[in-house]
Every structure is written in C-alpha cells, then in structure tokens.
Amino acid sequence: MEEESQFTLSVNPSRGLMDEKFVILVQNAPPGSELTVHALHQCDDGHGWDAFAHYISDATGRVNVSEDCSLGGTYSGIEPMGLLWSLRPVPGSKPGLRLRKKNVQEPMLVTVSVYEGHRKEGFADLVPLASALVERWYMAPGVRRIPVTEGGLTATLFLPPGLGPFPAVLDLWGGGGQLVEYRAALLASHGLAALAIDYLTTAYRYLEEHPQILGSRIAMLGLSFGTSVTLRMAVYSKVMKVTVEDHHLTQVCDYPSFFRPTRNVANTRITEENHVILRDLSLPITTDPLKKVDVGRLQCPLMLVVGEDDQNTAAQESANDMKEMMERAGNSHLLTVLSYPDTGHLIEPPYTPHVRASNFKPVNLNEILMILWGGQTAAHSRAQEDSWKKILLFLRVNLFGGIRPAAAPLSHL
C-alpha cells in the first residue's frame, strides 16, 4: 500500500449520546483496498470488548460505514452502528460477560481503527493505519445525578437541565438486585426526570413529593422482574390510585411477566453449552385468575415491548394472554404491543451490545447461572433501536401531551 500517513479516519460526532448515530469515514486509501474497521472498548470492569467489519474502498479511496456494505466480520451488510451493537468480549475472555455501564458520569470510550487487509484476529499485535477515539455518553450536559437514601431508599435521581418541574419515570430493572443507572441517565438526557431504584412504592411517593417533579405525571419503565412490579403497582397499589385515575401514569414494560409463575423445576432446560432456559417455567399460561394480575382493572396507557425469541420468559404467550384479558374487560384501547422477531429478553437502549447468554446471580440464590436470554444479534439490535424511539414517543405523548421536551445541546458534549 501507499504510505500509511495519507490515511485518515474520522468519526462524527466524536462525542454524543449513547443512542445517537455517528458516521465513520475512512479517506485517502488506494481505490479497491481491502480494509478492516475495528472498534475496541474497555468496560468499567476492565474487560475488553471489540467488533470489526471488512470493507473495500471505493474509486475515490473512501469507506463510509454508514453507507457501505460490510463483507464480513462481527456483522455484515449496511449497518451504520454495527461496530457498537456487535461488540463482543475479546477472544480469551471469561465466559458469560455482559456489557453494562456502571459509572454514567464518565463516557463509554471506544477506539475506532482501520487496518490493512481483511483481518479477523490479532488486532492487539497490529499497527493501525489510522485511529480515532469516540465518547458515548448516557448523561448529557446539565443532567444532574442525585443519590437518594432517604426513607430507606437505595436510588439515584436524574434531573434534566433546567428548573422543572419535570414529568418523571420510575425505572425498574430485573431480579439481579443491583442499582442500574444508565437507562435513567439517558432518559434524563431526553428531558424526563428518572429515578433508578433498587425497589419500590416508597420510591413512587418520593417522586410524587419532590419539588422538581410533576407529581401527576409519573411513568414506570420496567425490564424483566421490574415489569412484574410495575404492573402490580399500577393495578393494586393504593399509593398510586389517584395518579392512575387521572390518566397521567404511563407504564412501559419490556416483557409481560404479569402473572405469578409456577416454578416447575422440571420445565427448566439446559442447552449443550450449559445455558439455562427458563421460559418454560411459566408455561402453559395459567387460566387461574387468582394467579394473575387483573389487568382488566388497569386505567393507564400501557406499552409492552416483546422479544419473540425471549428464552427467559414466555413473553409472546404472556402478551397475547394479557391482550385477551384486556379485550374482555373493555380496556384494550390502553394497550400498545411492540413485538420483534429474533429478539431476546434483554431489550436495552440503542446500540447496547447484544448478549445472547451471560452470567446472572438471582438475589435469592447463592449460585451464578449462565442464563440464555435469546435473540439474534442483528435483529435484536434493530429492535432495540426501533423500540427506544417508540418508547420515548409514547412517554412524550402521555406525559407531555406530545410536546417534545427540551434536550441538552449535544454540541456541548
């Protein structure tokens, strides 16, 4: 090849929110060159994650990752954000890793590099033709992070820029028993106050009484076990009755675990890779109304985001059963269902790397399980991008009346 110094690689914007797209551009390569574009990230736990794709430069010596087709690598085809969502643990890493941002006050740093030829391994031993450092943030400029310990809570409140008061989201996660902040931080970056919590009804009252929160406009966002909690709160909690009746409580659930599952250990499956499949524990769906949340009593708008390849819970079957219950009760007009083929259990914000299986320690067990979550990487990643846009729109319509909240100026990141 020609002298390496002529190569340039740019990423625009080099600083942005985690759900913001960027453009990776390689220039000044010899026309028709085989090139590998590579991304490398070291997570907060110290583990390395990488992704790569193969390209051929055009007649002008350019590769535009947003427009050109990857011929192979960790993804193929035209995928502008493929180098993020296809990140996987570097070869030799311990099994079962999952990428989760722990310190949202610092950016996710990704080094994007271009290498000569179509490479598949050994990137650590190679000298790149050009590189660029990318910052991906969950907290936009002006977002405030406030630890909350009053009233026995273990939580973090994220407030958007400005004086408020703001509509708010109560952000609930799964059964791992840890405080997870990155989704709440990203919601605040889009103008919604958000409280990440490690559980529960006292948290709703905390938001309702906070001077910078519009107490009549509070949403709940649940994933995994957090969905069961949000549904029960919406239907049964006396704390929330007024809010629900005022139709200012909106609820988004990333999987419809609205029943009380019968834990039949005989229905647990183990794959050849020793991955645990839990979806059959709740099958067949019970017909006993005493073992379900009575969603027919629900009085607030509800969105379900369903992964059709969810291997952790019977998501699609549960969503269908819930729809039938609400149709019989006459409140199905409150229900919106987003259902995605080849999508697993862990539906997260855009460009979060897909993890089909990972280590998981339930709060009630003293052992770590390798749980199969499901999903195919490309389809799952597209579902994350599409559902996030629709979740934000759903929240804006129901909390702001469709008016887009002011977001922090990303140019100042």
Point out the catalytic residue in the list 33, 310, 354, 381: 310
Percent of the chain with pLDDT over 70: 86
Q: What pLDDT is recorded for position 228?
A: 77
Q: What pLDDT is recorded for position 260?
A: 37
The Cα 215–Cα 231 span in angstroms is 19
Mean pLDDT across the chain: 86
What are the structure tokens assigned to 45, written together? 């736990």
Q: What pLDDT is recorded for position 254?
A: 46
Residue 244 has pLDDT above 90, yes or no: no
Q: Which phi and psi (to 5°) does residue 354 adopt?
A: -75, 130
CA 312, 187, 15 angle in degrees (round to 5)?
A: 105
* Strand order across the 63-64 sheet: 8-12, 23-27, 63-64
More confident residue, 174 or 40: 40
Q: What pLDDT is recorded for position 234?
A: 76
Q: What pLDDT is recorded for position 175?
A: 63
CATH architecture label of 8-137:
Sandwich (2.60)
By C-alpha distance, which of 59, 146, 138 is closest to 102?
Answer: 138
Residue 384 has pLDDT above 90, yes or no: yes
Domain 144-400 in CATH 3.90.420.10? The answer is no
> How much is the average pLDDT of 108-132?
96
Q: What pLDDT is recorded for position 377?
A: 96
Active-site residue 345, yes or no? yes
Given pLDDT bands bounded at 50, 70 and 90, which one contains residue 61? very high
Peptide linkage before 13 cis (omega within 30 of 0) = yes
More confident residue, 294 or 252: 294
Point out the catalytic residue in the list 224, 332, 381, 387: 224
pTM for the model stands at 0.85
3-state SS assignment for residue 169: strand
Q: What pLDDT is recorded for position 172?
A: 83
Give whole-number Cα distances, 67 to 70, 89, 111, 244, 378, in Å: 10, 26, 20, 46, 17
Active-site residue 224, yes or no? yes
Q: Which residues of 368-384 are buried (b: 16+ CB within 10 A; e: fewer)?
A: ebbbbbbbbbbbbbbbb
Point out the catalytic residue in the list 345, 354, 358, 387: 345
The Cα 344–Cα 380 span in angstroms is 7
Query: For the purposes of burial, counting CB atoms within 10 Å of the CB of 92, is it exposed (0-12), middle (13-18) or buried (19 or more)?
Result: exposed
DSSP code of residue 77: B
Instruction: List the chain domain ranges.
Output: 8-137, 144-400
> How much is the average pLDDT of 238-251?
39
By C-alpha distance, which of 332, 268, 321 is closest to 292?
Answer: 321
Q: What is the chain's alpha carbon radius of gyration, rounded to the nearest angstrom?
A: 22
